[in-house]
Chains A and B, each alone.
Chain A
Amino acid sequence: AQTVTQSQPEMSVQEAETVTLSCTYDTSENNYYLFWYKQPPSRQMILVIRQEAYKQQNATENRFSVNFQKAAKSFSLKISDSQLGDTAMYFCAFIGGSGTYKYIFGTGTRLKVLA
């Protein structure tokens, strides 16, 4: 069974600093997709970034980037120049490419950006 593990329940970072959130996963599939979702205090979940397993290049979206290590089954999220608006719960998610239709989520990391 596929699993997603986020080992950091809570983290904090100073405004303008860089922080890295960890995510590891377990799967026997070779083709799959990984996501980071953000849930601010308003509860609305929004997509931060997406990585396709067959692409070696790490995905980047403005201040957000990932370090995708396929062999290690690791998918960390780096937030550069942290802003107060980045304060949120962050979820790592996985979906296999074999048509299972099920997105598997980690338990989340609560990030607080300090002024």
Chain B
Amino acid sequence: NAGVTQTPKFRVLKTGQSMTLLCAQDMNHEYMYWYRQDPGMGLRLIHYSVGEGTTAKGEVPDGYNVSRLKKQNFLLGLESAAPSQTSVYFCASSRLAVTGELFFGEGSRLTVL
């Protein structure tokens, strides 16, 4: 059982380049989330989805876009990467909106030069 899988796990970009992070879950979860983790700031919510075809903004959505065309996949896009987007990105999913445990991927370390 793979759980939550993120690809790629590491990526180095130049300022202005674009890229997409893919999150896939095989648990049939409705809710999916993208967080970024920065030293001293914990996890901050970028975007989330409450079901296939839906997306919503979190705390720090600027500079990112997301799509949830299939229930099992949640894509995070950076259209024009900036050094401030250097971070570790985590995808998470949950079966239930509130009481459910969040299942996390292993994280994707992105460096923007």
A binds B: yes
- Contact A102 B58, beta carbon cutoff 8 Å: yes
Interface residues of B in 58-102 (CB under 8 A from A): 58, 88, 90, 92, 97-99, 101-102
Residues of A within 8 A of B40 (CB): 9, 107
What number of residue pairs across chains A and B have CB atoms under 8 A from each other?
56
Count chain A CB atoms within 10 A of each CB in B45, B48, B98, B102 and give the residue with the most: B98
The number of chain A residues touching the other chain, given as a range, is 20 to 34
Interface residues of A in 69-115 (CB under 8 A from B): 91, 93, 95-97, 99, 101-108
- Contact B45 A102, beta carbon cutoff 8 Å: yes
B24 to chain A, nearest CB (A): 16
A57 to chain B, nearest CB (A): 16
Residues of B within 8 A of A91 (CB): 42-43
- Contact B98 A97, beta carbon cutoff 8 Å: yes
Let me know if A64 is at the binding interface, CB within 8 A. Answer: no
Residues of A within 8 A of B21 (CB): none
Instruction: Tell whether A95 pairs with B43 under 8 Å between CB atoms, given A43-B88, A43-B107, A101-B48.
Output: no
Interface residues of B in 19-69 (CB under 8 A from A): 31, 33, 35, 40-45, 48, 50, 56, 58
Which residues of B are at the interface with A, using a C-beta cutoff of 8 A? 31, 33, 35, 40-45, 48, 50, 56, 58, 88, 90, 92, 97-99, 101-102, 104, 106-107
Which residues of A are at the interface with B, using a C-beta cutoff of 8 A? 4, 6, 9, 33, 35, 37, 42-47, 50, 52, 91, 93, 95-97, 99, 101-108
